Protein backbone atom coordinates (compact mmCIF):
# COMPACT_ATOMS: atom_id res chain seq x y z
CA UNK A 1 0.00 0.00 0.00
CA UNK A 2 1.42 3.38 -1.02
CA UNK A 3 1.55 6.22 1.47
CA UNK A 4 0.33 9.55 0.17
CA UNK A 5 1.54 12.82 1.63
CA UNK A 6 -1.05 15.56 1.45
CA UNK A 7 -0.26 19.14 0.48
CA UNK A 8 -0.15 20.53 4.05
CA UNK A 9 2.30 17.84 5.19
CA UNK A 10 4.38 18.24 2.04
CA UNK A 11 4.59 21.99 2.59
CA UNK A 12 5.69 21.54 6.19
CA UNK A 13 8.40 19.11 5.14
CA UNK A 14 9.59 21.49 2.43
CA UNK A 15 9.64 24.39 4.89
CA UNK A 16 11.73 22.39 7.35
CA UNK A 17 14.25 21.48 4.69
CA UNK A 18 14.37 24.98 3.21
CA UNK A 19 14.88 26.78 6.48
CA UNK A 20 17.48 24.31 7.70
CA UNK A 21 19.61 25.30 4.72
CA UNK A 22 19.43 28.91 5.86
CA UNK A 23 19.70 30.32 2.35
CA UNK A 24 16.20 29.68 1.11
CA UNK A 25 12.72 31.00 1.71
CA UNK A 26 9.32 29.42 1.18
CA UNK A 27 6.48 31.54 -0.15
CA UNK A 28 3.10 31.10 -1.76
CA UNK A 29 2.48 32.75 -5.09
CA UNK A 30 -0.80 34.40 -6.12
CA UNK A 31 -2.41 31.02 -6.94
CA UNK A 32 -1.48 29.52 -3.57
CA UNK A 33 1.26 27.37 -5.07
CA UNK A 34 4.23 26.91 -2.76
CA UNK A 35 7.65 27.68 -4.13
CA UNK A 36 11.15 27.83 -2.72
CA UNK A 37 13.29 30.79 -3.63
CA UNK A 38 16.97 31.40 -3.07
CA UNK A 39 17.80 34.43 -0.95
CA UNK A 40 21.03 36.05 -0.01
CA UNK A 41 22.11 35.81 3.60
CA UNK A 42 21.61 39.11 5.34
CA UNK A 43 23.46 40.31 8.34
CA UNK A 44 20.55 42.41 9.55
CA UNK A 45 21.02 41.10 13.08
CA UNK A 46 24.78 41.37 13.15
CA UNK A 47 26.42 44.48 14.49
CA UNK A 48 29.98 45.71 14.37
CA UNK A 49 30.58 46.86 17.93
CA UNK A 50 33.43 49.10 16.80
CA UNK A 51 31.26 51.17 14.46
CA UNK A 52 27.68 50.94 15.70
CA UNK A 53 25.90 53.83 17.35
CA UNK A 54 23.75 53.58 20.48
CA UNK A 55 20.47 52.95 18.62
CA UNK A 56 21.95 50.20 16.47
CA UNK A 57 23.44 48.42 19.48
CA UNK A 58 20.08 48.61 21.26
CA UNK A 59 18.16 47.29 18.30
CA UNK A 60 20.42 44.41 17.30
CA UNK A 61 21.79 43.05 20.57
CA UNK A 62 19.60 41.13 22.97
CA UNK A 63 19.65 42.41 26.54
CA UNK A 64 21.22 45.74 25.59
CA UNK A 65 19.18 48.78 26.48
CA UNK A 66 20.00 52.43 26.11
CA UNK A 67 22.31 52.63 29.16
CA UNK A 68 24.38 49.58 28.24
CA UNK A 69 24.62 50.73 24.63
CA UNK A 70 25.80 54.13 25.80
CA UNK A 71 28.34 52.43 28.09
CA UNK A 72 29.67 50.40 25.13
CA UNK A 73 30.12 53.51 23.00
CA UNK A 74 31.71 55.46 25.90
CA UNK A 75 34.12 52.59 26.61
CA UNK A 76 35.04 52.39 22.93
CA UNK A 77 35.61 56.15 22.77
CA UNK A 78 37.82 56.08 25.86
CA UNK A 79 39.85 52.89 25.28
CA UNK A 80 39.68 52.33 21.53
CA UNK A 81 38.34 49.52 19.41
CA UNK A 82 37.33 46.05 20.58
CA UNK A 83 39.42 43.17 19.26
CA UNK A 84 36.96 40.44 20.31
CA UNK A 85 33.40 40.12 21.52
CA UNK A 86 34.68 38.89 24.89
CA UNK A 87 36.23 42.31 25.51
CA UNK A 88 32.70 43.64 26.01
CA UNK A 89 32.82 42.15 29.51
CA UNK A 90 35.13 45.02 30.47
CA UNK A 91 32.15 47.36 30.04
CA UNK A 92 30.26 47.87 33.29
CA UNK A 93 27.02 45.88 33.33
CA UNK A 94 27.97 43.42 30.59
CA UNK A 95 28.87 39.89 31.61
CA UNK A 96 29.82 36.62 29.97
CA UNK A 97 26.23 35.43 29.65
CA UNK A 98 25.17 38.55 27.74
CA UNK A 99 28.11 38.16 25.35
CA UNK A 100 27.35 34.46 24.84
CA UNK A 101 23.69 35.23 24.15
CA UNK A 102 24.76 37.60 21.38
CA UNK A 103 27.82 35.74 20.04
CA UNK A 104 26.32 35.21 16.58
CA UNK A 105 25.35 38.86 16.31
CA UNK A 106 28.57 40.56 17.41
CA UNK A 107 31.29 41.22 14.87
CA UNK A 108 34.50 43.20 15.26
CA UNK A 109 36.16 44.77 12.30
What span, in angstroms and rounded, lies between the C-alpha atoms of 49 and 11? 39
CA-based angle 71:72:73, to the nearest 5? 90
pLDDT digits (tens, 9 = 90+) for 53-67: 999 999 999 999 999
pLDDT band at 2 (very low <50, low <70, confident <90, very high): low
Please state the domain extents for the chain: 7-38, 47-107
Give tens-digit pLDDT for 56-105: 999 999 999 999 999 999 999 999 999 999 999 999 999 999 999 999 99
For the cut 70, the answer to whether the pLDDT of residue 1 exceeds it is no
Spatial separation of the C-alpha atoms in residues 42 and 84, rounded to whole Å? 21
Greater pLDDT, 58 or 1 = 58
- The confidence score (pLDDT) of residue 38 equals 46
| Span 47-107 CATH architecture | Orthogonal Bundle (1.10)
Q: For the whole model, what pTM was predicted?
A: 0.61
The predicted structure's pLDDT at residue 39: 41
Which of residues 91 and 3 earns the better pLDDT score?
Answer: 91
92 vs 64: CA distance, rounded Å: 12
Instruction: Tell me what pLDDT residue 40 has.
Output: 37
Amino acid sequence: MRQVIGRPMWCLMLMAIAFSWGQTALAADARGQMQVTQVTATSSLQVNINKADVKTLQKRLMGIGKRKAEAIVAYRDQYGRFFSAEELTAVKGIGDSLVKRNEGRIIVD
